[in-house]
Amino acid sequence: MIKDLQAEILRLKKEKNITILAHSYVAEEIQEIADYTGDSFKLSQLAQQDKNDTLIMCGVHFMAETCKILSPEKKVILSSPCAGCPMAEQVSADELIELKKQYPDYTVVAYINTTAALKEHCDVCVTSSSALEICSKIENKNILFIPDCNLGAFVKEKLPEKNVQLINGGCPVHAAVKEQAVLDAKAAHPDALLLVHPECKPEVCKHADYIGSTSGIVDYAVKSDAKEFIIGTEISIAEHLQYICPDKKFYPLSKNLICADMKSTTLVDVYNCLTGNGGLEINMPDEQIKRASVCIDKMLELG
Binds ligand SF4 by CB under 6 A, chosen from 76, 87, 112, 167: 87
Within residues 252-291, the interface with ligand 13P by CB under 6 A covers none
Residue 66, SS3 per DSSP: helix
The residue from 199, 201, 257, 271 that contacts ligand 13P (CB under 6 A) is 199
Helical H segments across the chain, by residue range: 2-15, 28-31, 40-49, 61-70, 93-102, 116-119, 131-137, 149-158, 179-188, 202-205, 214-223, 235-244, 267-274, 286-302
Binding region for ligand 13P (CB under 6 A) out of 9-17, 122-130, 184-192, 287-295: 122-130
Q: Are 83 and 299 in contact (CB under 8 A)?
A: no
By a kind-dependent CB cut-off of 5 to 8 A, residue 39 interacts, out of ligand 13P, ligand SF4, none, with ligand 13P
Nearest-angstrom CA–CA distance, 64 and 82: 12
Is 259 an interacting residue with respect to ligand SF4 (CB under 6 A)?
yes
- With both helix axes pointing from N to C terminus, report the angle between 267-274 and 2-15 in degrees, rounded to the nearest 10: 30
- Count of residues interacting with ligand SF4 (CB under 6 A): 14
Euclidean distance between CA atoms 297 and 44, whole angstroms: 11
Is residue 113 part of the contact set for ligand 13P (CB under 6 A)?
Answer: yes
Do 114 and 147 touch, CB atoms closer than 8 A? yes
Nearest-CB residue for ligand 13P:
39
Q: Which among 49-57, 99-107, 131-139, 259-267 is the span making contact with ligand SF4, rule CB under 6 A?
A: 259-267
39 near ligand 13P, rule: CB under 6 A: yes
Q: How far is residue 207 from each of residues 181, 196, 203, measured CA to CA in Å? A: 11, 9, 7
**Interface with ligand 13P by CB under 6 A: which range of 123-131, 143-151, 265-273, 288-296?**
123-131
Binding interface with ligand 13P (CB under 6 A): 39-40, 113, 127-129, 171, 199, 213-214
